[in-house]
Structure 1
């Protein structure tokens, strides 16, 4: 005969109906009284503990106790008193109903474990906040340590709850789990790796849903739309979906563009190749001709005056241009582009703006433009960058410079 059949027989057949109703009414009255007692005990205990902690925190110099109150540790500790009272008084309420008592006590123990975990979490959060206020610990990964500790506490807590629900001792439960761990590791290898990766990603805050990431190994270049234990889904800009194993986020390299998106601009870093043979010194006639370019007129006048003063003081023979100090067409062009980019309406003026020469190559001298567009949207960014380089390429000829490109015969021979 099943347990339910025993219960049904004992209380509805073995006993009279009036006696059963009497037992139920008695239990209901005691249950109501118990609920009232627990409510009062919870309110009083919470008020007393919170008041004690608040008064104590005001008298101490350290802010650790203040953080305990702010993280609600006293409030959660206060719930322990009603829980202990409930565990001790419930057998009296369900004295005539042992079947109910068994299940309710089981639920109370589960609640006790969860409450204990929340209390420990509040204390750990207090330590986390307190350690962050200490100068020598400000640069330490306190969050990681606290979260790993909480992970182990949750594992132990969940194992304890399962042990209670299946009516097995904690030690036997872990012994049984250990014996099956080899099979579990083999079957759930990817899930376990993904779980560990998810924890590390969450701890380090390295990837969030909505982040734009680039991972060449998997052909991913787009926004993260989902992160789970096994895969990270990335919607590429061509609207295709790429699935990346979650553990690849900690084992492989990738680029997260979140820093760019949260900054004041998107970087433009591109160069044009100038033919080395087109670089030359500028004569006075060349300089006078270039003064017609408004952006650099003032610069040329100032530099020309300084150079003439220097050359006069050092008796430089200017019948040969290389003597003394001189302006070059590539230097003036670099200054022109620097001024042009600085005045461009779509360039962020508060971030780095630089036009620089890179190391010469067999193809020529790279002149790199380095700046940040104010608008970070992809299509607008491409338009701004193209606008700057359209102007740069068209302006090259005004400075008697040439852009490098392979001769047609050379391209045909390679083909």
Structure 2
């Protein structure tokens, strides 16, 4: 089998890249290790920057997003007693869209067949070959048989644990990483959210987030030690903790209900450089991870895909290699700014096990400054809506 571009990973990054390239008349084949049902079962974030919304609209796949999504004009920071609203629409003239990553994936997935995008699900043992040449290829197994996929370029959109990044030799790649000493315990429930906009709370007992997937489905998180287990947090205990950490106003508006899903996710900041080697390009979680504070993961994948699709279209349609040669440098410039924002918001809003009284006073002082400074709120808003491409 042959294709112009072989894409590894059928998450939102790989699917979006496939659609953008196919729209330009470039042949693509996407390999995915898991089944389509498994891909859609993954619960992920759901705040979309304008860049991601615009890409879905550009592909003609934004109708359901605009119908079911929730445009948000602001968000809140809480310090245990008060709510500090950041009016992103007034400060920047832009908004964000609350629309689950699963729904984005579904919209992209459902349109593949009619648009001639071949996706091979349950492709195991994907291995990259000759990535530093002009003739790379992949081998994989499907239903007990082994296959080969030749392509001019390979796009690794296969997440943090996929084979793409591992194909770049250690002598070439460099890793930057910070592991945070806590996790997020999340609960998904079919109850109305406690507030119309997201609330990021810094409380003496730790961080909490009040979020939503729709007007009738809520997503909440609390900071927990990495040693905690889901069994340690029955529903009633979790609801009580959320009501306390989100503060009296938001806490009083919480509607309780049985958990549809509960999980504990570790937090890390991670960047791999470079994001390309020869004919291989990395995008999304294959190259970088951000803590979920600030909702940058999916949106960073979208900006990677925007840069990479433009570069590949220029190569195939205009015969220029300028875009592909500069892809890593261009993408990483935006990646590091988003990493900075996610790291700084995580540092501001969480309690660290080794934190002292001085560090706590600094958090309080920073929140006080944000509450009283339009300049500080503008900087937050600009980063929250997403920096321009």
Same fold judged by TM-score > 0.5? no
- The answer to which structure, 1 or 2, has the higher relative contact order (CA under 8 A, 6+ apart) is 2
Question: Which of the pair is proportionally richer in strand?
Answer: 2
Larger Rg belongs to: 1
Query: TM-score if structure 2 supplies the norm length?
Result: 0.23
Question: Which of the pair is proportionally richer in helix?
Answer: 1
